[in-house]
Amino acid sequence: MIQTNSKEMIAMLLAGGQGSRLGVLTNNVAKPAVPFGGKYRIIDFPLSNCVNSGIDTIGVLTQYQPLELNAYIGNGQPWDLDRLYGGVSILPPYVKGSEGEWYKGTANAIYQNIHFIEMYRPKYVLILSGDHIYKMNYDLMLKHHKEKNADCTIAVLKVPIEEASRFGVMNADDNLKIYEFEEKPKEPKSNLVSMGVYIFTWDKLKEFLIKDEGNKNSDNDFGKNIIPAMLEEGQNLYAYEYNGYWKDVGTVESLWEANMDLLNPNVPIELNDPPWKIYSRNGILPPQCIGENAKLHNSSISEGCKIDGEVENSIIFPGVIIEKDVIVSNSIIMPSTIIESGSLIEYSIIASNVVIEKNSQIGLNKKPILNNEKREITVIGQELIITEGTIVPAGVMVDKSILEKGA
């Protein structure tokens, strides 16, 4: 009924995965809603990339624990996505005939929302996932897609060849045309790996989605099924090389590292970048307060914090309270957590709304540390209470409150 113009490209963001490798951090929230970088959530990165690239219509496919994610996205206003026509839409599974159907795989999730996509009559569809940290102009990628007259363009990254076997590897000719795709090959033939960012010409994708859905043996997955099928049928698949910072934050270690990268001036991920802002939903909090006894070194601290202790090489999220005589180093403290006086925290990720009571020690390493050895990361799950004087050794993942000393 509403007359409107069609959209050239819309984005579909796969946010349904459980993210089990993030352990206690995704017990109650979907991975894209995990806090990152002092005030953001992981999903802020693909969403902000979209709006900064001029894409104003985004479907977010959710399935697992979507409540917090849904509330976070809300009407999309923080990302300027509260549009009358387009904007951000949450797309959960639903009942069609007499029964409902959950999303079986990434491709099936898109398949089930063909009707949604067709509402906007797009020429191209951008497929994104919700667990990568990067700043990317999808508009340049689209230009490349059009220039190559591609059916599908896959964003790729050059990695050291010895790391390539952890990824999907694209084997492409000089013209960047992909002739082979190998998922986590033992002997990678190329160092171009997929970033999980695809642009498809919609008509073509739709055809392959419908075909794939008819195949009972398919996992209905882009990497495993759709891309190989397209290659097999001789479609035009092209690689698009991206040169900036990109990090998969699917594990505790990589999440910690990506946060620490923000404090390292030598790593090329600058968030303070006015023409390419990362937008996020801001809490309504007063500015941070730094007390008489605070000592701050190379750290990032957010709104609503009250800091009266020592903070070094750490990322402190909004609303955190750090009392005096606390030392926090090389750690990530998520929103509204309280660290009481006398506690020591090292190489840890403390999730949101945790209370670390007085004189506790989290993540301290008693072993001697060898050169170049990576420190193990300690994780405390959401909303836990760690009682006074508790010692949580390095590398432990805590998912229940510790209410008695020595427990």
Count of alpha carbons within 13 angstroms of residue 361, beta-carbon side: 7
**Structural tokens at position 27:** 């017990």
CA distance 332 to 22: 14
Exactly one of 8, 70, 224, 387 binds a copy of itself (CB under 8 A); that residue is 70
Burial 154-165 (b: 16+ CB within 10 A, else e): bbbbebeeeebe
Scan for tokens 């010409």, then name that residue. Answer: 201
Question: Rounded to the nearest whole angstrom, what is the least distance from the CB of residue 154 to a copy of itself in the complex?
Answer: 29
For another protein, the closer of residues 9 and 354 by Cβ is 9
C-alpha to C-alpha distance for 389 and 88, rounded to whole angstroms: 46
Min dist CB 406 to a copy of itself, Å, is: 32
Return the number of the residue (1 or 370) whose C-beta is nearest another protein.
1
CB-nearer residue toward another protein: 27 or 137: 137
When binding is defined by CB under 8 A, the residue of 8, 21, 80, 92 that contacts a copy of itself is 92
User: Judged by CB under 8 A, does residue 54 bind another protein?
Assistant: yes
For residues 248 and 332, give the distance between their C-alpha atoms in angstroms, rounded to a whole number: 17
DSSP assignment of 201-234 equals EHHHHHHHHHHHHH-TT----IIIIIHHHHHHTT
Closer residue to a copy of itself, CB minimum distance, 131 or 346? 131
For the residues of 127-172, what is the DSSP string, one character each? EEESSEEE---HHHHHHHHHHTT-SEEEEEEE--GGGGGGSEEEEE
Q: Binding of another protein at residue 102 (CB under 8 A)?
A: no
| Binds 105: which of a copy of itself, another protein, none (CB < 5-8 Å by kind) | none
Given a contact cutoff of 8 angstroms between Cβ atoms, the answer to whether 241 and 294 are in contact is no
Q: Is 84 in the site for a copy of itself (CB under 8 A)?
A: yes
Number of residues that bind another protein (CB under 8 A): 51
Per-residue contact flags (x/-) with another protein for residues 295 to 334, judged by CB under 8 A: xxxxxxxxx-------x---xx------------------
Nearer to another protein, 109 or 321 (CB): 321
Q: Answer yes or no whether residue 23 interacts with a copy of itself by CB under 8 A.
A: no
Which of 122, 140, 143, 105 lies closest to 205 in space, CA to CA? 122
Q: Enumerate binding residues for another protein (CB under 8 A).
A: 2-5, 8-9, 37-39, 51, 53-55, 77-78, 80, 82-85, 139, 142, 271-272, 275, 277-280, 282, 284, 286-292, 294-303, 311, 315-316
